[in-house]
Amino acid sequence: MTSSMKQTVIKNPTWWRRRTSMERNMTILAAVAWCVVTALVIVLAIFISQPRQESLPTLPAALSGTEGQFFGRRGGTDRSDICLTPGCVHTASSILKSMDPSVEPCDDFYKFACGQFVKNTVIPDEKSTVNGFSIVTDKLQEQLRTVIEEPISEEDRKPFRLVKNLFRACMNKTHIESRGFTPLLDILRQLGGWPILDGDAWDAGKFDWRQSVFNFKAMGYSVDYFMDFSVSTDAKNSSYRSINLDQASLGLSREYLTKGFSEKLVDAYYKYVVDIAVILGANRDRATKEIRDSIEFEMKLANLSLPSEERRNVTKLYNAMTVHEMQSKFPTIPWLTYFNSILPEHVQINNDEVIVVAVPSFIKGLEKLVAETPKRVLANYVMSRVAGASVNYLNDELRNRQLKFSTALSGKTEREARWKECIDIVSGGLSISVGSLYVRKFFKEEAKTKAMEMVEDIRKEFIHILMNVDWMDEKTKQKGLEKAKAMAVHIAYPDELLDDNKLEDFYDKLEVNPHLYLESILNVTKFGMNYSFGRLRTKVNKTEWITHGRPAIVNAFYSSIENSIQFPAGILQGSFFNSERPRYMNYGAIGFVIGHEITHGFDDQGRQFDKDGNLVEWWEPDTKKKYLQKAKCIIEQYGNYTEEETGLHLNGINTQGENIADNGGIKEAYYAYLRWTERNYVEPRLPGLNYSPRQMFWMSAAQTWCTKYRIQAMRQRITTGVHSLGQFRVLGPLSNMIEFSEDFNCPLGSPMNPVHKCQVW
């Protein structure tokens, strides 16, 4: 722990704990007497029947415009202080089930808000975590099942027949089992053979690692096993697309592979690949030796790769050069042939095409590595990756071995119910068609309108914060304001999802066979690659419906390249949003998420892009330096958090973007709610919860992140993830906000009100 992050912890911060037993008893008697007198006064007041007006606690001068101003309840004088509608009763019940009121909120607000959730939640065998997102996702899966399981009718247009046929292909376990390994063995032969299976009959003279990439693309497999290839919006000219080349996509995270075979997960990965080869027919002794060689090659790829901590500077990853220049820098690879063999025939390039290379040192190292590695090792590596990518779509013998490896990674010991797995696969591969089915049947349009209102409320608060920060120079501040105001918003779904003709045009060239599961999956993958790579010459439309046409997902997004935020229909329900509960619950939940996504535009990576989504330096040097100092405070704060069960420190560098977004997002949502109250009225409390609306806002925000983890999942998230664990997404932001401490009367120096606080926005 650095000196700047040390906190003075008061063991017993509340006056109650410091009193003797006799003093507490006297206090209780006095409190009871006071309550009786108060109750009589209230009854008398009601009897007198004078019009009653509730007031909002004083707003900050910067928000209210008038120091000490109070705002009364509007409309009607006979509303109760307690909301007893079904929506409020259900909400209160849910909150009470999760919270632990025996915990002092100023000591650990996460345990206070989520203690019973963590204690009582049983993680199903097929899951690695349970939280608000997974609970809503379970509901979403059930909703999708009702429409996807429906029989195919004559009225079904092609996009919906594709969905139902792929689901049926996935669900037909009897047919999948009867085919056994045959689909994969046929594919491996077509791709040139897996040396481990072919033994001495494998012909090294027919193998070329570049040709293997082209063959994979033609078949529907990834082209990223040696180096990542993509066509995406150009970071410095966001109206056009460019070819991007990056370090390899690996079978296991770089963070593990670089540790070698002594790392438990690397050893588990090694044994898994060996067993897959043996199941498919390989000799175990041969597989044991040759797979070790191929994983050592993969380790070398990992060591050539940049660690995540060094990939947060986007400018560092933007190295533009023509194909001709690439040929001079990296002469052993015929680049023009390489690119044109991956691109569709109607999109071909010449030597003047500009390629954006993320990590030139990786490409240089790859040249040397493939030159000195035997072809047999290279072939074993890529064919093992192909086999690994196929296992999920084959029979139970292979899938059960995959589950064992998954258990080592995440802790889950069972697979999802087959129908859930199939819903996930179909939703991932045919997300636009599935999204269209979902919004037509389940989405409530009022959620779209209310979510948009909240977005605008919260955006105004971010703008207000930006206008009042004292560490930004005026020039940088003005550009920041322009970016915040220009941020595009995509709520729920685009209208085109309801247009059958547009859907048919999009899926025109895709075919799915309900009797050929693996082959159909590869068709879907190939369709997606051809669509993505084929857009190289098309100008970017930042509001394009296809890009934003995936509503059946419980998540939210910020795109720096579009300067846009997106809230799909799937997240506008459940614990995140409900129009039948008080707004303090919605502002604390989906409002927190909205603020989080807005703030991403100004986190350590988002701030590198301007209002048009271009990678441009728009920060004045002194202001940039101050920003980085503030971000450093966040890095150190979270880097000094330790997860008790694993003993691991959070990675403050890799999680800084999400942590900055959390800290800004909760602040914006809180003040947006106060301003809503100013315009409207103080909302009633929930039954059984003696907490004010402001306190309930914090409760709602905290319970958004109530999470029960398996220890393996915790380790993996801390080691490789960009999000902090749920408890720190509560403890970090709330302990940095003086407003939280004021609402709960937390003494200065208590754990939730440390003397030293971090604040970027």
The residues assigned a catalytic role are: 597, 662
Three-class SS state of 133: helix
Are 562 and 488 in contact by the 8 Å Cβ rule? The answer is: yes
State the Cα–Cα distance between residues 526 and 519, nearest whole angstrom: 10
User: How many CB atoms neighbour CB 238 within 10 A?
Assistant: 22
Are 602 and 691 in contact by the 8 Å Cβ rule? The answer is: no
Three-class SS state of 276: helix
State the Cα–Cα distance between residues 619 and 19, nearest whole angstrom: 54
State the Cα–Cα distance between residues 105 and 681, nearest whole angstrom: 27
Nearest to 606 by CA among 660, 569, 560: 560
DSSP state of 243: E
Three-class SS state of 214: helix
| Identity of the residue numbered 247 | Q
State the Cα–Cα distance between residues 294 and 379, nearest whole angstrom: 8
Pairing mode of beta strands 557-559, 228-234: unpaired
Name the helix (H) or strand (E) containing 441. Answer: helix 431-441
If 0-12 CB within 10 Å is exposed, 13-18 middle and 19+ buried, where does residue 394 land? buried
DSSP state of 94: H
DSSP state of 431: H
Q: Hey, which residues does 479 pair with through a beta bridge?
A: none
Are 652 and 553 in contact by the 8 Å Cβ rule? The answer is: no
User: How many CB atoms neighbour CB 480 within 10 A?
Assistant: 25
State the Cα–Cα distance between residues 376 and 378, nearest whole angstrom: 5
CA dihedral 60, 601, 479, 469 (to 10 degrees): 30
Three-class SS state of 381: helix
State the Cα–Cα distance between residues 213 and 366, nearest whole angstrom: 15
State the Cα–Cα distance between residues 380 and 367, nearest whole angstrom: 18
DSSP state of 320: E
